[in-house]
């Protein structure tokens, strides 16, 4: 089936068009922010893989009535709705109160839950924050959330955070009617694939940051010794990787369930392709776990280098103190006010004592330098 062969290509990121068709047949700017007056970003009815156009924008209530009368499914997108804004939609579609509470208040871990005839899925979106130089306060990754309600004839997305817009993804899916004809499960797969592809891109970018820090830690400094780097930068990068890790690891089990366990709401043809998403996620999981372990090793190596550098400094200070101790001792002895002291009245006493002192200092310096203390 051509739809199956083109499934991956349909949901891959591409450059979004700034101008897109409105539901009333007009044109609007796809990059413009959603209106602040409502949390509903878009509400559309899809039938036979195509978006049904109406003379005016439908409310969620009107859209589901159209679907239950004429068939198809409705896809409603919301951005950070309040309890009052989401209450009507939750009542109309019979969403479970626990899932509604999670969707409104956000800050959930990735998961997959079934409530009666509805699947509730939580994804954490990860966005890489570009920076000219990694510092101890740099923000490396920025997270958001996408909650999905999948039903027999509806699909609802609730998005939190400034990143992770699904507008371009919706337009790409609308360009593939054969895929959209598979219903809400095709949209769920597209979102899962979109989120995991974002993880792959972020993992590659974070890998570059880790490589840069690792190079600085082990690059030679003065006299061939490792120069190390600021431990605060390593620790900050480790914290950002932990945020990345909290998005990836909990999602592994939900993707396994979607790819392996038969579900009434998931089309069998679509379920096969959740395996591909699960494979990509497993690869990112291995990368993120490796990042954490590698940063631990880099941090320990950096601290060890700092200790070695401090020991080197202490050895040099101790060496010079030992050299200075010789003239200090000689001057201290001959500075005592005794009448009867050896060589005090000998005319060669001063140059002899001075020469012996210099010879002793040079001998100690040569010995310490040969042993690597100086």
Question: How many residues in the chain?
Answer: 374
* Cβ proximity of 154 and 163 under 8 Å: no
- Closest by CA to 253, choosing from 224, 230, 232, 274, is 274
| pTM (whole model) above 0.75 | no
The 10s digit of each residue's pLDDT in 250-282 is 999 999 999 888 888 898 888 888 999 999 999
The 10s digit of each residue's pLDDT in 183-198 is 999 999 999 999 999 9
- Closest by CA to 191, choosing from 176, 163, 169, is 169
Highest mean pLDDT among 89-103, 301-315, 316-330, 344-358: 89-103
Confidence of residue 141 (pLDDT cuts 50, 70, 90): confident
Can you give the three-state secondary structure of 24-88, one letter per residue? CCCEEECCCCCCCCCCEEEEEEEECCEECCCCCCCCHHHHHHHHHHHCCEEEEEEECCCHHHHHH
Least confident interval from 85-89, 301-305, 326-330: 301-305
- Closest by CA to 194, choosing from 220, 164, 159, is 164
Sketch out the chain's domains with CATH numbers.
Answer: 40-306 (3.30.460.20), 310-371 (1.20.58.340)
Q: What is the mean pLDDT of residues 276-300?
A: 91
The 10s digit of each residue's pLDDT in 220-256 is 654 444 455 577 888 888 888 999 999 999 999 999 9
The per-residue pLDDT for 194 is: 94
């Amino acid at each position: 089936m051509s739809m199956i062969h083109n499934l991956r290509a349909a949901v891959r990121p591409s450059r979004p068009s700034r101008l897109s068709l409105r539901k009333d047949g007009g044109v609007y700017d796809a990059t413009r922010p959603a209106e602040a007056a409502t949390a509903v970003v878009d509400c559309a009815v899809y039938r036979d893989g195509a978006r049904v156009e109406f003379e005016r924008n439908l409310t969620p209530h009107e859209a589901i009535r159209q679907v239950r009368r004429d068939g198809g499914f409705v896809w409603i997108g919301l951005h950070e709705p309040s309890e009052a804004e989401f209450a009507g939609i939750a009542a109309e579609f019979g969403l479970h109160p626990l899932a509604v509470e999670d969707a409104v208040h956000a800050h959930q871990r990735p998961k997959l839950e079934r409530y009666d005839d509805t699947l509730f899925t939580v994804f954490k979106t990860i966005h890489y924050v570009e920076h000219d130089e990694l510092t101890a306060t740099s923000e490396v990754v920025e997270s958001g959330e996408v909650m999905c309600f999948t039903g027999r004839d509806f699909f609802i997305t609730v998005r939190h955070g400034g990143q992770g817009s699904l507008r371009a993804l919706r337009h790409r899916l609308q360009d593939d009617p054969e895929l959209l004809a598979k219903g809400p499960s095709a949209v769920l797969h597209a979102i899962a694939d979109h989120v995991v592809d974002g993880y792959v891109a972020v993992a590659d970018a974070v890998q570059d940051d880790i490589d840069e820090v690792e190079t600085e830690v082990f690059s030679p400094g003065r006299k061939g010794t490792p120069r190390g780097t600021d431990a605060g930068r390593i620790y900050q990068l480790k914290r950002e990787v932990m945020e990345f890790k909290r998005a990836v690891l909990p999602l592994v089990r939900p993707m396994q369930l979607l790819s392996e366990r038969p579900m009434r709401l998931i089309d069998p043809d679509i379920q096969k392709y959740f395996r591909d998403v699960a494979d990509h996620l497993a690869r990112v999981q291995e990368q993120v776990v490796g990042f954490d372990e590698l940063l631990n090793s880099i941090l320990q190596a950096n601290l060890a280098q700092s200790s070695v550098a401090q020991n080197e400094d202490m050895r040099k200070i101790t060496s010079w103190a030992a050299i200075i101790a010789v003239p200090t001792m000689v001057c201290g002895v001959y500075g005592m006010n005794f009448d009867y002291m050896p060589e005090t009245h000998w005319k060669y006493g001063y140059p002899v004592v001075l020469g012996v002192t210099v010879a002793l200092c040079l001998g100690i310096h040569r010995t310490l330098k040969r042993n690597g203390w100086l």
